[in-house]
Copies of this chain bind each other. A is one copy, B any other.
Amino acid sequence: MNKNKINYLKNNLPFFKDLSSEELNNLILISYLKKYSKGELIHSKNSNCTGVILVINGQLRSFLDSSSGKEITMFRLIDRDICLLSASCVFKNLTYDISLEAEKDSLVLIIEGAYLKKLSESNSHVQKFLFDLTQDKLSEVMWIIEQIVFLNFDRRLANFLLNQSYLENSTTLKITHDAIANHLGSAREVVSRMLKRFENEGLIKMSRGTIEIINLEKLK
């Protein structure tokens, strides 16, 4: 298990080679592998600083949720993706609350946020790593805003179905209208209405709990 952990750290952390042996030992001590079952919550508003999460295998979803129960998916994370937003204590000013759940059975490596923050203060390679991750996230989040504001809802829904098909490696998607609404920060009725339109246009075919993509090219 420990050997696995060291390998995952070595293969995924660019600063691994720039650590002193003491730093390395501490990093190994404070990071841990954890399995999550499909549907399990990994990080929520209430769990302040879970840490930086490295996906070994599986699929995670990070999302924002409002007090009224509305949700919107921010990122889907697959193998080798790193979630920074679950390490809130790494941040100077935290003004948002992200949640993270396993969409499939997943194995993740968690690196304690407080230690990483401390490490970044003394090791500029670690700081660079966190800086790069933050820049990536900022770019992605700006992109998400562009999608939300500038794309019509039919385009966003079509993109979601295409991405889902890519993640599932299938054109038959087992997903409810309610779940799609939560991904897109929309209402179930709006999703159902638009899916109906897609069906009428021959893009998809709906049955109980399943959406089948009929015309992938036209959906693009």
A135-B92, A149-B148 known; A64+B142 contact, CB < 8 A? yes
- Asked if B149 contacts A96 (CB within 8 A), the reply is no
Q: Which residues of B contact A150 (CB under 8 A)?
A: 64, 66, 68, 70, 72, 185
Partner of A96, one of B64, B98, B130, B143: B143
Asked whether B144 lies within 8 Å of A92 as measured between CB atoms, the reply is no
Extra A-B contacts (9), CB below 8 Å, given A94-B139, A141-B141? A64-B149, A70-B149, A92-B132, A95-B140, A131-B134, A134-B135, A138-B138, A138-B141, A149-B185
Is A22 close to B, CB under 8 A? no
- Given known A72-B149, A128-B127, A149-B64, contact A137–B138 (CB-CB < 8 A): yes
Cross-chain contact of A136 among B70, B92, B127, B143 (Cβ < 8 A):
B92
Q: Cβ of A142 and Cβ of B95 under 8 Å apart?
A: yes
Q: What's the Cα separation between A124 and B91 when bound, in Å?
A: 17
> Number of residues in A with C-beta < 8 Å to the partner?
36
Chain A stretch 135-191: residues in CB contact (< 8 A) with chain B: 135-146, 148-150, 185
Q: Which residues in B have their C-beta under 8 angstroms from that of A4?
A: none
Q: 8 Å CB contacts to B: which residues of A100-135?
A: 124, 127-128, 130-132, 134-135
Question: Is A93 engaged at the interface, CB distance under 8 Å to the other chain?
Answer: yes
Which residues in B have their C-beta under 8 angstroms from that of A185?
Answer: 149-150
- 9 A-B pairs, CB-CB below 8 angstroms? A64-B145, A64-B150, A92-B136, A96-B142, A124-B124, A124-B127, A134-B138, A141-B145, A144-B145
The prevalent SS among residues of A at the interface is: helix
Q: What are the nearest 3 A-B pairs in CB distance?
A: A96-B142, A66-B150, A149-B185
A144 surroundings in chain B (CB, below 8 A): 145
Contact check: which of B91, B128, B148 meets A148 at CB < 8 Å?
B148
Q: Which residue on chain B has the smallest CB distance to residue A121?
A: B128
CB within 8 Å for A64 and B134 given contacts A124-B127, A128-B127: no
